[in-house]
Chain A
Amino acid sequence: MKKILFLSIAVALLFGAQQTTKAQLSDEEYNYVTMDLRGILNLTMTTNPQVDFTFKTIQEYQRGITKFNATQLEVDATLAWDLFVYASTNNWTQVESYSTNGNPVLPAEILEMQSSVTSTATVNMNSFTSLLGLGHSGVNNGMPTGATQFLAGASGTAAGESFAPGTAAGNPDTHKFRIDMRLLPGIPATFPNSIETIGVGGEDNFAQAGYYYLEVVYSLAEDL
């Protein structure tokens, strides 16, 4: 009887040990997920990129020509951004001259521009102001400085010196720009509103009749 008792205890112990050593069954499956968040900056010009000014009457010379909404820009961005503007050259390029009188070197600054979006930058285009030529814009290898004209944001990365991410469709007040342009030659064509004068150094101080063009650069950049 004692043997049976011992055997029973042994079996019970064995059974118990078997139960306690049994681990909780489990299995695992995995997914490895990669997320590539690209920085996206889209600048879209929704108007014709070429803006023509033709001065063919005395009144047009005297009163100038203003083109409202000459250029419309839309910004879609996933990053904080700045938008600045400058002329790609210091002067207008003369394609053809119609006269031998006057000065063919016209500074970029004779073109006045204003933006529909208010900029907090020191140098801005909140009202009609001369577009800065490359040499005066402070832009160096495409990078802006404090002297650069900002349509949005400013030089630096402090608070208020950039515009927030967003789409033009969702933020029309801050991400859609309507740019007005004005040329006021005057008679003689000295362009009195320009911050740079024609004919510095004794040359003719009025514009030579002719056909000119100027390239305006709008640059959208991450707030760096």
Chain B
Amino acid sequence: MRSDTIKLFFVVISVVLSSQMAEGQSVNFDLKTSKNIEFDFNTINKYVNGIIAYNACELNVNVSGTQWDMYVGATTSKPGYWDVTEEYSNSGDYPPISILQLRINNSSNTSQVPGFFPLTDISSPTYLIGSAGAPDAAVNCPDQGTNQPGDYNSSPGCYKFRVDMKITPGLSTIYKAGLYTLRIDYILIQDL
């Protein structure tokens, strides 16, 4: 009877410990700023050559105790198109969100999409780390697709992402002149 009690005690302790380990998991973006980015196309040159906003945003990843995924997409009222704040013209097409291109990477190039890519709706996001399936194979820093726990302070090369944005309207498609907005969602999520 005594030995059974001891066994039970160890079982309870191990459960408590495992519970505490699970609570030690965290998945965070630190130092969030939720910046507003403005693209003002007021010259022909800007239409033709585009505007690039370098370091428009920084994503500081801080993950402990778990593997993670990161993806990005846009949220708008009409999926796939910018929200219209004001129209300056009656003619032309409404611009798709894909004319906004993103480049999200760090100094170790761990992003799975290293160059500029067109923004998509959040319902079909672009995975920068990991995939929609789970669990992904473990990838350690500094390899491409690093998804192991870590933080931007100790390993900025793998966990500090810079976001560049580019829009090149061009003149081949007539977009309706106006003021447009959208929200970009960056999602950091446990790879379960």
Main secondary structure on A side of the interface with B: mixed
Cα distance, A42 to B41, chains bound together (Å): 14
When distances are taken between beta carbons in the complex, the residues of chain B under 8 Å from A40 are: 41-44, 47
Asked if A8 contacts B39 (CB within 8 A), the reply is no
Residue of A nearest to B63 (CB): A25
Min C-beta distance of A221 to chain B, whole Å: 12
Min C-beta distance of A177 to chain B, whole Å: 17
When distances are taken between beta carbons in the complex, the residues of chain B under 8 Å from A51 are: none
Number of B residues near A (Cβ < 8 Å) is 65
Asked if B183 contacts A32 (CB within 8 A), the reply is yes
Asked if A224 contacts B56 (CB within 8 A), the reply is no
Given contacts A31-B183, A36-B40, A38-B42, contact A166 B11 (CB under 8 A): no
Given contacts A31-B35, A222-B89, contact A78 B171 (CB under 8 A): yes
When distances are taken between beta carbons in the complex, the residues of chain B under 8 Å from A8 are: 8, 11
Min C-beta distance of B138 to chain A, whole Å: 17
Asked if A166 contacts B171 (CB within 8 A), the reply is yes
Number of A residues near B (Cβ < 8 Å) is 42
A11 contacts chain B at the CB level, 8 A cutoff: yes
From A29, A30, A34, give the contact of B39 (CB < 8 A): A34
Asked if B38 contacts A78 (CB within 8 A), the reply is no
Cα distance, A163 to B187, chains bound together (Å): 44
Asked if A14 contacts B95 (CB within 8 A), the reply is no
Asked if A29 contacts B29 (CB within 8 A), the reply is yes
Asked if B59 contacts A29 (CB within 8 A), the reply is yes
B163 contacts chain A at the CB level, 8 A cutoff: yes
Asked if B192 contacts A35 (CB within 8 A), the reply is no
From B7, B43, B66, give the contact of A25 (CB < 8 A): B66
Asked if A34 contacts B95 (CB within 8 A), the reply is no
Cα distance, A7 to B12, chains bound together (Å): 10
Asked if B26 contacts A32 (CB within 8 A), the reply is no
From B28, B95, B186, give the contact of A35 (CB < 8 A): B95
A22 contacts chain B at the CB level, 8 A cutoff: yes
Q: Write out, one digit per residue, whether chain B residues 14-25 have a CB within 8 A of any chain A CB (1) or not (0).
A: 010011001001
Given contacts A26-B190, A76-B44, A167-B48, contact A34 B36 (CB under 8 A): yes
Cα distance, A224 to B85, chains bound together (Å): 22
Cα distance, A162 to B169, chains bound together (Å): 20
Given contacts A25-B25, A33-B100, A38-B42, contact A79 B181 (CB under 8 A): no
Asked if B184 contacts A31 (CB within 8 A), the reply is yes
A96 contacts chain B at the CB level, 8 A cutoff: no
When distances are taken between beta carbons in the complex, the residues of chain B under 8 Å from A11 are: 8, 11-12, 15
Min C-beta distance of A26 to chain B, whole Å: 4
Min C-beta distance of B90 to chain A, whole Å: 7
When distances are taken between beta carbons in the complex, the residues of chain A under 8 Å from B59 are: 29
Q: Write out, one digit per residue, whether chain A residues 127-169 have a CB within 8 A of any chain B CB (1) or not (0).
A: 0000000000000000000000000000001000000111100
Known contacts A29-B185, A30-B185, A37-B175; 6 additional CB pairs below 8 A are: A29-B188, A31-B34, A32-B36, A32-B183, A32-B184, A34-B180
> Could you write out 19 A-B pairs with CB less than 8 Å apart?
A4-B5, A4-B8, A15-B19, A25-B27, A25-B66, A27-B28, A27-B188, A29-B59, A31-B37, A31-B57, A33-B183, A35-B38, A35-B82, A37-B169, A38-B42, A39-B177, A78-B41, A79-B89, A79-B177
Could you list which residues of chain A lie within 8 angstroms of chain B, going by C-beta atoms? 1, 4, 7-8, 11, 14-15, 18-19, 22, 24-40, 42, 76-80, 157, 164-167, 170, 222-224
Lowest 9 A-B CB distances belong to which pairs?
A39-B177, A26-B189, A25-B190, A25-B27, A31-B184, A29-B186, A76-B44, A165-B171, A29-B29
